[in-house]
A and B are shown apart, each in its own frame.
Chain A
Amino acid sequence: MRVIIGYLRPFAKRMGLGFLIKVAGTMAELLLPYLLSYILKDVVARKSMEEILLYGGIMILFAALALACNIIANRMAARVSCDFSERVRQDLFDRTLHLSSAQCDRFTVASLESRITTDTYNVHNFVSMMQRMGVRAPILLIGGVLITLLMDSYLSLVMLATLPLIFVTVYLISRKGVPLYTRVQKAVDGMIRIVREDAGGIRVIKALSRTEHEHARYDRANRELVGCETRAGVTMGAVNPVMTLLMNGGIVGVVALSAGRVADGLSDPETVIAFMQYFTLISMAMMSVTRIFVMYTKCAASARRIAEVLQAPEDLPVMAEDGKGPAGRIVFDHVSFSYAGRANDVEDISFTVPAGGSLGIIGPTGSGKSTIIRLMLRLYDADSGRIYIDGRDVRSIPGPELYAMFGTAMQQDFLYADTVEENIRFGREIGRESMEEAARIAQADGFIRSFADGYGHELAQKGANLSGGQKQRLLISRALAGRPEILVLDDSSSALDYRTDAALRRALASERGECTVVTVAQRVSSVKNCDCILVLEEGRIIGSGRHEELLESCAAYREISESQMGGAIVD
């Protein structure tokens, strides 16, 4: 919550003014029942029609004043909460983009998403509600109690006795209800999961004639859900009747007590009428306060989740340079790394790629190929060993400088809803010619021009309106468009058919100039022309050298190569 308060500080003046206006409006409203009883008791006794109209006019005026003040204050509150949450969300988003990969893994992307969306939304709602109900309810409560105390302190004790009861019962029932709703949510998830699974596996289910079995499985989930919802509904259904009963019970108490007091001349029936009005106002305020408490717990949890991200420490700091490292464009020197801190995901990796050279990495899924790329790009820091780019430790190169050297395309990489052109440019200053040139080398120019609107063609979210091969070619175009010194293709042509893949490699070979190329692949054909190929298995290098050398020296490589003799035919 402290973070939230920090964000609210700049708005303190506006909030203060809004607060005063709100208080004024609420006070005007509070005076109405008092005027009601005053008119009925004193003015009526004076038998003055003019005075009744005068005080009645004042009541209407106060009602209008309350209306105006509350609307103005609510609008000010809306402005403050919108400005507030815009800032929080912006900072949160910016901070999230700057998190290191290790931090992202720890938070998980799904959780980061919900912090930006749901959690800021919750906090926004709470901030907005606090300025409206959060001001109004306490004023109604305190002001109402004060006025009734002044009018008849004895009778107002009944009211004071009822209030804690309302609060406690609602609080208790809600506390019992919240876990029940958590279970409802779990049951809903279970039911939805079955629907999702069966929608995806309908062919398998029909092929195996397991429809009846699925019906039974769904029925169990359905019954479970109905059971949970019933329990929650039966519990929470008590809230309204109990509150209404307590409120009405209080009114009965006031009337009952007043009988004796009126007889003793200590009170009068008109006061009782005003009390009945105050009772309604105050009980409603009490209910609001209870709701604020429930919302507070929700908001506090969200605020904590937001603060966790905002206050996450700066990861992967840039270190001071400590002298010249070994020569070569990319050098790995006995590098080991583990994501989880247990068994090493890559172990003792050493290699050197000279400037302008080409490196291929091949191996089964999970053998650590992409991990090497991530370490090279300093998405993670190695646990031991060192990595050098142009003789500088990768940890001593500031991010912008490091990433300016690279052009990278990964297997399941990122395309977004915008034009083809913007997806290739990716917010960089790249001329039209360089962009089209890159697309030509990446074999993407042809299919892009086949769109009616060419480079202006709009992609769907995540590029869903492109085929796998088209997506990969766009990603390679993006990597090439910045004319990088080091081009990294991480399993980025796996969806290309064989002919296109061959054409891509031919184009790259003739156009790359001084560029160093690192290619990660499962297909031998994608790496076989590299100056050096690393064969990886379970995080270790089990062979390295040129294609011909590896066919001789590395049994695993030979096996892969033979099994893939045709490569991928189509698709």
Chain B
Amino acid sequence: MTKGMNPRRGAGAEQEELPRGKRGHILMRMGRYIFHSWPLFLLAVALTLLSNQLSLMGPMYSGEAIDAIADPGGVNFALAWENIVWMLICYVASAVLSYLLSVVMVFLTQRVVYAMRRQLFEKLTTLPVGYFDTHQAGDIISRVSYDIDVVNASLSQDVVQVMTSIYTVVGSLIFMWQISRPMILIFVVTVPISILFTRYRSRKVRPLFRVRSRKLGELNGYAEEMLSGSRTIRIYDREREIGGAFHARNHDAMEAYYQADYYGAALGPSVNFINNLSISLVTIFGGILYMYSQSGTVSDTSMFFITLGGVAMFVQYARKFAGPINEFANILHEFQSAFAAAERVFRVIDEEPEPADASDARILTEVRGQVDMERVSFGYTPERMILHDITIHARPGETIAIVGPTGAGKTTIINLLMRFYDSSEGRILLDGDALQHITRNSLRGAYTMVLQDTWLFHGSIYENIAYGREGATLEEVREAARAAHIDGFIMHLPEGYDTILSDDGVNLSKGQRQLITIARAMLAHTRMLILDEATSNVDSRTEIRIQQAMNTLMQGKTSFVIAHRLSTIQNADRILVLQNGQVTEQGTHNELLAAGGFYASLYNAQFS
């Protein structure tokens, strides 16, 4: 049975070829995973060899049975039956072993895949935050699922396939050699045809399939994009125009599809042709040799001698021999995909984790909340600095508001305070200690934060709020939710706090999601607080209602607030105006208004 294109590896599985040295390296690493389960692997190898040996012996017995039946002196029943029984035993045993083999391979590959996935995920959680800022979630996910899947499929199918193929090719050749050496000559004709066909396949057809996948992907992308705008298309009455634009792309994609299919149409028939051709050649040569053997022209000791059973065997071995040769290109290609996929997985596993805490780093126990940022400069890449020479002093309990246009570097300051990134110049102190001398975990644990991008996970509302403090009781959770003015809404849900938050479950508005994260923050008792556009999605009236709770949350904490609404900002102890990575103005609301700078001009614009 020819192996069809694996659907999981169909579209988009085209990878660049890896350099030879790298491939060896990856093979070694994969080998190490397998080595962890070496008894299973040895068992698999043994089962492969044994089951193939048995299935190779089947045709031999069938040939001998035919010879026994075709015995010139009448059917030799004893010999025939003996061979038939052996044949049956071989096939049954081979089937049992090959099933066992597939079970063993499932267990083996699942162990490897489990370990890879686990290693990959645990590595991800130790990577610096910067990794997630520069890599899209979709890319990370495709490594965890798609790439590991490809490796998995390759391990469980291709490895066995390769062993089987080699064994079958060599084994059939040996059997055929024993049956009739001259007849092997027919492969001088068929093997070159196979090779030509393989080259046609990889040079001509495969690139066309690549184009086809790409075009189809583009078409799908276009359809998805346009559907997301179907309402707008309707209210501008553009259905016909967009349909026309789609038509051009649809036609284009289907032409690419046809081109690939046009040349690909030769693949199946060619495999069959090579098979049929070898059968025809075996018949011709076998027929001639058999004719002379029967007539006695060729003596039974000559290498040209062949029996009827011999011809029968040869036909079967020729078929077995041709299969793997035709599949060779396919397997090679799949191995390339698997190597490329494994390489992408290893690349993550090899990423530099967040550097370890300094050996003298201490664990924060008591925090007062004095934060000093002194002459700090920073850029995510050295070529492009985001912050220039920033100095901020926050005394315990003070509220510092940061104001500025998009891209001014507000969130970057937060990233540095929590040491998601390390500043390139200047220093940051907490209670007089440089951040480098404090363990990251305890530093981050000293802050509570609410961000604009609300983060909720698949789980109950209770679990999501209680995430703020391990072991929080339901009563404490409800208390926090009440303060965030979301308890009433939650209690109205049929499942209350046990409601599972999921993509297809309850539909929370952005505002409600943000209120839940505010409730989560209320549970955590820390001395420092970060609010990064924490109420940007909450409408004005609700914001008024939770203002009290926000004030309580900020009470006695050193707070850093980024907000675009004045109501949150104007009571701050100090407002910093950040422009192009520099602090251009600072002071209280009134001081800044009096100064008549950028802040004042923004503020006054509304009254014009």
User: Among B122-130, B172-180, B336-344, which stretch is in contact with chain A?
Assistant: B122-130
Q: Which A residues from 378 to 424 make CB contacts under 8 A with B? A: 379, 399-400, 403-404, 406, 408, 410, 413-414, 416-417
What residues of chain A lie closer than 8 Å to B62, measured between beta carbons? 251-252, 255, 276
Q: Which B residues from 223 to 273 make CB contacts under 8 A with A? A: 223-239, 241-243, 245-247, 250-251, 254-255, 257-258, 261-262, 264-266, 268-270, 272-273
Given the interface contacts A208-B445, A223-B114, A237-B106, does A63 sit within 8 Å of B277 by beta carbon? yes
Q: CA of A569 to CA of B255 in the docked complex: distance in angstroms?
A: 54
B531 at the interface (CB under 8 A from A): no
Across the two chains, which residue of chain A brings its CB closest to B295? A47
Given the interface contacts A209-B444, A259-B69, does A71 sit within 8 Å of B129 by beta carbon? no
CB distance from B527 to the nearest CB of A (A): 14
What residues of chain A lie closer than 8 Å to B227, measured between beta carbons? 96, 109, 112-113, 116
Given the interface contacts A215-B122, A234-B106, does A241 sit within 8 Å of B225 by beta carbon? no
What residues of chain A lie closer than 8 Å to B92, measured between beta carbons? 245, 249
* Contact between chains at A244 and B95 (CB < 8 Å): yes
B553 at the interface (CB under 8 A from A): no
What are 28 contact pairs spanning A and B, CB under 8 A?
A: A47-B291, A52-B284, A52-B291, A56-B284, A70-B268, A71-B269, A78-B265, A97-B230, A104-B230, A188-B145, A192-B141, A199-B140, A204-B455, A208-B524, A209-B445, A237-B99, A241-B98, A244-B94, A249-B92, A399-B237, A403-B235, A408-B236, A416-B225, A461-B221, A525-B606, A556-B541, A566-B603, A569-B603
* Contact between chains at B230 and A563 (CB < 8 Å): no
- Could you say which of B74, B80, B102, B524 contacts A233, with CB atoms under 8 Å apart? B102
CB distance from B326 to the nearest CB of A (A): 14
A570 at the interface (CB under 8 A from B): yes
Q: CA of A79 to CA of B259 in the docked complex: distance in angstroms?
A: 9
* Contact between chains at A234 and B103 (CB < 8 Å): yes
User: Among B14-22, B26-34, B309-317, B478-486, which stretch is in contact with chain A?
Assistant: B309-317
What residues of chain B lie closer than 8 Å to A462, measured between beta carbons? 225, 228
B548 at the interface (CB under 8 A from A): no
* Contact between chains at B242 and A78 (CB < 8 Å): no
* Contact between chains at A277 and B279 (CB < 8 Å): yes
Q: CA of A561 to CA of B176 in the docked complex: distance in angstroms?
A: 94
Across the two chains, which residue of chain B brings its CB closest to A37? B283
* Contact between chains at B69 and A258 (CB < 8 Å): yes
CB distance from B238 to the nearest CB of A (A): 5
User: Among A80-88, A318-326, A438-446, which stretch is in contact with chain B?
Assistant: A80-88
A43 at the interface (CB under 8 A from B): yes
- Could you say which of B75, B445, B524 contacts A259, with CB atoms under 8 Å apart? B75
Q: CA of A196 to CA of B95 in the docked complex: distance in angstroms?
A: 42
Give B41-78 as 1s and 0s: 1 = Cβ < 8 Å from A's Cβ atoms: 00000000000000100100010011011100011010
Across the two chains, which residue of chain A brings its CB closest to B539? A364
- Could you say which of B125, B309, B406 contacts A205, with CB atoms under 8 Å apart? B125
* Contact between chains at A249 and B567 (CB < 8 Å): no
A171 at the interface (CB under 8 A from B): no
What 14 new A-B contacts, CB under 8 Å, besides A97-B242, A219-B118, A237-B103?
A35-B283, A56-B283, A90-B246, A109-B230, A196-B141, A249-B91, A259-B80, A268-B70, A365-B509, A365-B539, A408-B236, A414-B231, A428-B238, A467-B406
B361 at the interface (CB under 8 A from A): no
A135 at the interface (CB under 8 A from B): no
Given the interface contacts A96-B230, A366-B509, A564-B567, does A200 sit within 8 Å of B95 by beta carbon? no
- Could you say which of A277, A400, A497 contacts B315, with CB atoms under 8 Å apart? A277
What residues of chain B lie closer than 8 Å to A400, measured between beta carbons? 237
A485 at the interface (CB under 8 A from B): no
What residues of chain B lie closer than 8 Å to A208, measured between beta carbons? 444-445, 467-468, 524
Across the two chains, which residue of chain A brings its CB closest to B68? A259
What residues of chain B lie closer than 8 Å to A482, measured between beta carbons? 236
Q: Which B residues from 66 to 116 make CB contacts under 8 A with A? A: 66, 68-70, 74-75, 77, 80-81, 84, 87-88, 91-92, 94-96, 98-99, 102-103, 105-107, 110, 113-114
* Contact between chains at B220 and A117 (CB < 8 Å): yes
Chain A count of residues within 8 A CB distance of the other chain: 158
A4 at the interface (CB under 8 A from B): no
* Contact between chains at B1 and A240 (CB < 8 Å): yes
What residues of chain B lie closer than 8 Å to A230, measured between beta carbons? 106-107, 110
* Contact between chains at B144 and A86 (CB < 8 Å): no
What residues of chain A lie closer than 8 Å to B236, measured between beta carbons? 403, 408, 426-428, 478, 482
* Contact between chains at B455 and A201 (CB < 8 Å): yes
Across the two chains, which residue of chain A brings its CB closest to B224? A113
* Contact between chains at A214 and B125 (CB < 8 Å): yes
Q: CA of A517 to CA of B243 in the docked complex: distance in angstroms?
A: 30
* Contact between chains at B70 and A569 (CB < 8 Å): no
Could you say which of A364, A467, A569 has the most chain B C-beta atoms within 10 Å of its C-beta? A569
- Could you say which of B94, B254, B294, B544 contacts A85, with CB atoms under 8 Å apart? B254
User: Among B371-379, B386-394, B446-454, B490-498, which stretch is in contact with chain A?
Assistant: B446-454
- Could you say which of A63, A86, A188, A416 contacts B251, with CB atoms under 8 Å apart? A86
B608 at the interface (CB under 8 A from A): yes
A5 at the interface (CB under 8 A from B): no
CB distance from A569 to the nearest CB of B (A): 5
* Contact between chains at A109 and B228 (CB < 8 Å): yes
What residues of chain A lie closer than 8 Å to B233, measured between beta carbons? 97, 414
CB distance from B567 to the nearest CB of A (A): 6
Q: CA of A540 to CA of B226 in the docked complex: distance in angstroms?
A: 34
Across the two chains, which residue of chain B brings its CB closest to A25? B269
Across the two chains, which residue of chain A brings its CB closest to B267? A74
CB distance from A498 to the nearest CB of B (A): 5
What residues of chain B lie closer than 8 Å to A270, measured between beta carbons? 308
Q: CA of A462 to CA of B458 in the docked complex: distance in angstroms?
A: 27
B276 at the interface (CB under 8 A from A): yes
Across the two chains, which residue of chain A brings its CB closest to B125? A211
CB distance from A424 to the nearest CB of B (A): 11
What residues of chain B lie closer than 8 Å to A219, measured between beta carbons? 118
3 A-B pairs with the lowest CB-CB distances in the bound complex, closest first? A566-B566, A414-B229, A237-B102
- Could you say which of A98, A428, A566 contacts B606, with CB atoms under 8 Å apart? A566
* Contact between chains at A78 and B241 (CB < 8 Å): no
Q: CA of A497 to CA of B226 in the docked complex: distance in angstroms?
A: 29
B396 at the interface (CB under 8 A from A): no
What residues of chain B lie closer than 8 Å to A569, measured between beta carbons? 403, 564-566, 569, 599, 602-603
Q: CA of A36 to CA of B224 in the docked complex: distance in angstroms?
A: 56
* Contact between chains at B444 and A36 (CB < 8 Å): no
* Contact between chains at B602 and A427 (CB < 8 Å): no
* Contact between chains at B283 and A40 (CB < 8 Å): yes
A499 at the interface (CB under 8 A from B): yes
B555 at the interface (CB under 8 A from A): no
* Contact between chains at A53 and B98 (CB < 8 Å): no
* Contact between chains at A56 and B69 (CB < 8 Å): no
Given the interface contacts A113-B223, A287-B1, does A568 sit within 8 Å of B564 by beta carbon? yes
Q: Which B residues from 353 to 397 make CB contacts under 8 A with A? A: none
Q: Which B residues from 411 to 454 make CB contacts under 8 A with A? A: 418, 420, 440-441, 444-445, 447, 449, 451, 453
Q: CA of A201 to CA of B459 in the docked complex: distance in angstroms?
A: 14
What residues of chain B lie closer than 8 Å to A570, measured between beta carbons? 403-405, 564, 602
Across the two chains, which residue of chain B brings its CB closest to A270? B308
Q: CA of A242 to CA of B91 in the docked complex: distance in angstroms?
A: 10
* Contact between chains at B241 and A97 (CB < 8 Å): no
B147 at the interface (CB under 8 A from A): no
- Could you say which of A81, A89, A563 contacts B544, with CB atoms under 8 Å apart? A563
B319 at the interface (CB under 8 A from A): yes
What residues of chain A lie closer than 8 Å to B565, measured between beta carbons? 564, 566-569
What residues of chain A lie closer than 8 Å to B35, measured between beta carbons? none
Across the two chains, which residue of chain A brings its CB closest to B418? A207
What residues of chain A lie closer than 8 Å to B228, measured between beta carbons? 109, 414, 462
Q: Which A residues from 505 to 544 make CB contacts under 8 A with B? A: 522, 525
CB distance from A114 to the nearest CB of B (A): 9
* Contact between chains at B121 and A195 (CB < 8 Å): yes
Q: CA of A256 to CA of B122 in the docked complex: distance in angstroms?
A: 60
* Contact between chains at B69 and A74 (CB < 8 Å): no
- Could you say which of A25, A75, A97, A198 contacts B262, with CB atoms under 8 Å apart? A75
